Structure 1
């Protein structure tokens, strides 16, 4: 037999590799108990196989539905197809180990990046390079400035060509991509002071109060450095960064190769805790293994904020618009969400803490609390809870896995921790999630009214709610304790940002409490009702289980799917804008902003303002005058954006409002009178004359109270670095308000009176039509210092009058609770306002006194 005969015989004997993922599964050598695909997995894989030629595929698979195996089979199929190496990207090492274990259960060939010795550098596994095994690693292993997959123009590593990659838990990976592309400088590093000093005057010009809060070290306050100042001082900033690009400065050394070339097209955010310098668009092109991968698959349990996949990772609009989403509610598990205050407004957090501790101390349950900050965590620590942080997280998880009677509080960990089975059947959410990064905090302030911000918040809440229900057989009771959290969830305008399953669970919780609240039961009865409901879930009462399934299915049948096509189109347009800017196609970038965003009649004003500011930033290097004009328009539409370098000093027309009509608009965002009452009580609870209290919280509460009472309410000093703390404007009256809630002296100092006099002048200079103008000082005492004299039409809301105002507002909100917010007419609301002396022409007479 000749050589050609031998080759022919080998070729004819070679079996073609399978590419159908279900056929692949059936051919594997599974461990006992893992021989079958679930229906939801098979359905998902069949749908994917039909679209397997698409470059980008987005898949939504509920927690517990077998998402990991789905992803492994997708990659195995592409590897058998012969398109090149394939990689499964996880958000953390914990999930890497879980994926490897899942692969072992089914005999799927996988590999990991290892070191041959402690002193050697990591190398790519040869079976991965030869497409003989799926590489399992973290997203950050691929996406960082010293990536083992190679970084453009560095030469440290060979660029790896990737046939297919899969991103698991995509939104967590997006945060990691942003972090790896940013310089994050902590306050205790010398660079912090250098950069803060560099931009000190620029920040102070945006608001002296905020600037001093940053100087004092306030972690929750973060602001954007004005882009014109950043661009003008970029050479000095680069020198500061270059001299600190040493391996010891880990947070500078690692991202340097990704961001430095794009430093001029970046933003700088400064808080009291640190500095974040990050590009407008992630430099994905620096990591060709990701940017040029032949196929990119994205899997997650929820996609409340789908546009982020486009703007941050460059995933195609069509993939996001048509995700593979196999719905099977039985894979979700059982989650009862209870808001205790919906049962009785008299229930305090202390009442609930005592109740919760009974399940820990007496019944031995594992209880986990999620909080947004250390302050909240320390409150729970005093109750006996263990604070869990990055230092003890592994030990804490093991304790939850292997035992009972654990009481733990986690800070800002709404994702990344799986509390399955008996690890946690009682979960507490105490606080509205806040952005983790300095950029997140600053952007959330500037875009507070944006659907994007609300979708991000909803997504974080939903991730938190899902920590303790990780499979179809899992169950949990979740208690919502924080008023701000409850107000967000109760707002009808925010409900659309939650998944249908979560909405059904929220609606079930409302239905259980609504009738009880209306019956006006006492505090003890409310506690007993809550305990009884919790016990039905924890004791696995069969009638409850049947009731839960029936009611949630009924809710799900009522919901209609809301198309997100427009938001995805805008996300794609934004990605194109930033790509043009990165390539110095300035006119093209600004033209798209004008055509697609500024002229878009469906965007809220605050978002149009945001895109005006983006256009101004892009334009600034080439036409500073036009950039300033754009920034002026941005500020007019969104008061939280940057104050222009050269503001428009022309007088404005006062925005007159009809009070009762505005109250109606305010209350109809709530589904029930109960939620409305909780929202108002939350505002009133922050109106306290207390030394050392946070003045920002008081001023924000005055702003929200003005909104509720039907005024056009604003905070000029915060928004414009000029004018009063607060401004309430109505049809015929304008109240110029200064807040001195921290005042300890009985005597009003001269400087406080001068401040309100200055604000009155500011108002007269700022507005054309002025009407009746009154100055109001919120302060405990209305007695003047000897060298202080009250001006005309300047009044005091002292302790007595503040108490009176809070009582009347509380009575007004209680009356509104008597029926559904939608049922109130404007004339009825006006009547209630009059009965409680809350009409604009009644305010001064009933809730202020003269100074003496």
Structure 2
């Protein structure tokens, strides 16, 4: 007869263990390989034990540091303390499944159903995704009358916190497509307000121009929000509104609205996480993350306690990162082009998995000939990751997936990040324009970049070669002060990569073949590389938490406003602006000034307009005040060469930075109908690089051309950018717009002004129905390519020995390359040709 040891067990000894490290040792049914906790895991678990009653705790460990085990053990201890139910949130379904598998190997009970009895009774951890928790019909319940009763949750672990942030943003925004019956109703409701902000943009919305983005000013939105409610409420249960409407319906005044040609967007000033009691009222919230350059987003998005967030738990060492070599080919050698890198990737993909992260569908098409697989949806990404982790696939292109995926070991041996993420929604595009190159935007870009670079190294023993492509990305990573904002371990690996680059330069072989050879050594597990990367990581530690004061005030302002404590909301919003000014980020201060004015409008309409006027002085991309903006003429203070020197010297510290910066500007002047705002800004920047005084009148004053170059001698170039045009000819409406801009320039700069009208358009042929202004020039595809080539030569010549600081050298290059005010348009623009009228 078999002896029953179970009869002698008390049955509850393990259930009394509340120390996570001790619990791990005592778990009786662990699978093989779980003999001991890693040192990193024990360090952070012991640290958590001392602060377990703190409501918000951030735990940072490198990817592969065993965060999943840490999170599960913490939650199990919370259950033993009767601090349940316990909820584990993963960023995606396939990662949630991996967490449940990990729990099974530990011998812990888990479920995936938030209504499971074992979860509600504290007998099992519920493992699901952030999307399942945060949505307008969440099974966890909402603090909204008429909705299902909220489920009480005691303790929550949010894994991959940065991915959870993006998910929360997505689920708390309302995007109403053009095809929805309420779209036209909303645009009609705000027609006058939209026209007052951007008449040209409004006309673009009417004609379905993909580049059109026009904000609804806060005074119009707040004054008419009840009518918005009446329009949307009857549709609250349809598929467009049902997942977000319950979260924002009663906070409409504290949302911003933007109209685009594709959709009408309504976005809360902060995510309304307070509507999810299971999260908002949880006693313990633990955020697990590998990299979080700016911890402030936990405050703005999750209403986390700033003090708790500012005291993150980290291991003593950050040296447990896998082995990476990160190279930026176009920084090493500007002559290396995209085609050469694609050819290298294709060669490596014959025997190894190569993953390419791109920001958009248009960018993915550049890889169409090389890609074995191109994916963008959550289901397709999960399926692709499964294939990559089980065998050889080849070259896989993933669209806008910089976080939330694991590509361990052979799943990815070469990771290519091709360009920084683009802004997609209207709200994001507004913000990207307003914060372009600001410190706040740089921090966000670095956050996404570091997350992206972490996709291919998922454990201490993993290895991956990483290539960074794209002019803006290359320019960003080359900035000397940038490294200090990244984690120390990533910084150490970037330093190693630069040492490799310098060695290649000293050897005189900075070619794509040489770079490919280095990549193959990394992929092939070269012993020298492994030893060196271990060496450079010695002594690496985690950076201290970073919580910006303005973000804390922004969340306080939102919380007070939604509780009808408007005076307090205004005070905190004003302090947010003040803190941004103290930090020296003028662009951000101006952008936050719009938010301050939004709250102020509810208590002082006149004061709100004054605050907005002040904000616009710091940032031209914020809303235009109700009374408009006074026009300001631009003047040319000195010669073209001297102006170019003044601008270039202020912008760039050295020659290599100049080359990268010019390349980034030129790349933004692209034939892309989704990035016309970037093209307009780049045309203005190009003028500054060449020594002209510039203005963007249509953006700044709601009238006039997209870009104005003042060339001195009372000469002006009126530029209308039609980089989104796809037609084989210039239509009448584009010509009429150019004519209107010429008239605007003559009205504001005098009848004696020497004005040259310019269109940037794929074709220089004008439709017979249109009549171009006298002297119209067109920068078409061919001429734009020639202009870009000349400007690149200009930058490279002046980068040599920093000659861009010498007016005589600049003047000589301007003349030699036909970039002077007198020669530029003759060399790089065609005379507009009017198509003959049909005789039929």
Q: Does 1:259 align with 2:257?
A: no
Q: Does 1:106 align with 2:106?
A: yes
Q: Contact conserved, 1:62 with 1:301, CA < 8 A, in 2? A: yes
Residue correspondence of structure 1 range 665-680 to structure 2 within 5 A: 665-668=650-653, 673-674=655-656, 676-680=658-662
Q: Contact conserved, 2:156 with 2:285, CA < 8 A, in 1? A: yes
Can you give the 5+ residue segments of structure 1 that lack an aligned partner in the other structure? 1-9, 114-122
The alpha-carbon distance between structure 1 residues 833 and 653, as it changes in their structure 2 partners (threshold 3 A), is: closer
TM-score (norm. length: structure 2): 0.86
Q: Does 1:141 align with 2:132?
A: yes
- Give the CA deviation at 1:775: 4.9
Alignment length, in residue pairs?
806
2:359 equivalent among 355, 372, 391: 372
Deviations 1:655-698 (A, max 9, x none): 96854232112112xxx74453243234346668x999986565
Deviations 1:396-432 (A, max 9, x none): 2232122214222111111222111111111222222
Q: Distance in 1 between matches of 2:380 and 2:764?
A: 49
The alpha-carbon distance between structure 1 residues 160 and 464, as it changes in their structure 2 partners (threshold 3 A), is: same
Deviations 1:93-151 (A, max 9, x none): 222222222122222233331xxxxxxxxx62333333232222222333333333332
1:441 alignment counterpart: 429
Q: Distance in 2 between matches of 1:804 and 1:220?
A: 25
SS at 2:800's partner residue? coil
Q: Contact conserved, 1:210 with 1:718, CA < 8 A, in 2? A: no
The alpha-carbon distance between structure 1 residues 805 and 283, as it changes in their structure 2 partners (threshold 3 A), is: closer
2:622 alignment counterpart: 641
2:685 alignment counterpart: 704
2:78 alignment counterpart: 78
1:171 alignment counterpart: 162
Residue correspondence of structure 1 range 479-628 to structure 2 within 5 A: 479-492=467-480, 494-514=482-502, 516=504, 526-551=511-536, 553=538, 564-565=546-547, 567=548, 569-598=549-578, 600-628=581-609
1:184 alignment counterpart: 175
Q: Contact conserved, 1:709 with 1:838, CA < 8 A, in 2? A: no
The alpha-carbon distance between structure 1 residues 562 and 802, as it changes in their structure 2 partners (threshold 3 A), is: same
- Give the CA deviation at 1:352: 2.0
- Give the CA deviation at 1:764: 3.5
1:270 alignment counterpart: 259
Q: Contact conserved, 1:698 with 1:739, CA < 8 A, in 2? A: no
Q: Does 1:818 align with 2:803?
A: no
- Give the CA deviation at 1:297: 1.1
Q: Distance in 2 between matches of 1:55 and 1:750?
A: 61
Q: Distance in 2 between matches of 1:40 and 1:691?
A: 47
The alpha-carbon distance between structure 1 residues 465 and 799, as it changes in their structure 2 partners (threshold 3 A), is: closer
Q: Distance in 1 between matches of 2:12 and 2:777?
A: 97
2:447 alignment counterpart: 459
- Give the CA deviation at 1:162: 2.7
1:17 alignment counterpart: 16
Q: Contact conserved, 1:276 with 1:438, CA < 8 A, in 2? A: yes
Residue correspondence of structure 1 range 790-809 to structure 2 within 5 A: 809=791
Q: Distance in 1 between matches of 2:674 and 2:159?
A: 44
RMSD, aligned α-carbons = 3.9
Q: Contact conserved, 1:782 with 1:849, CA < 8 A, in 2? A: no
SS at 2:17's partner residue? coil
- Give the CA deviation at 1:39: 0.4
Deviations 1:553-603 (A, max 9, x none): 59x59xx957735x1x22211111111222232232223333452474324
Deviations 1:236-292 (A, max 9, x none): 32122111122xx23412333321111222222333332332222332332222112
Q: Distance in 2 between matches of 1:376 and 1:512?
A: 29
- Give the CA deviation at 1:347: 2.1
Q: Distance in 2 between matches of 1:752 and 1:243?
A: 40
1:5 alignment counterpart: none
Deviations 1:610-636 (A, max 9, x none): 222112212224433222222222222
The alpha-carbon distance between structure 1 residues 137 and 368, as it changes in their structure 2 partners (threshold 3 A), is: same
- Give the CA deviation at 1:28: 0.8
Q: Distance in 2 between matches of 1:610 and 1:188?
A: 31
2:281 equivalent among 292, 316, 319: 292
Q: Contact conserved, 1:310 with 1:575, CA < 8 A, in 2? A: yes
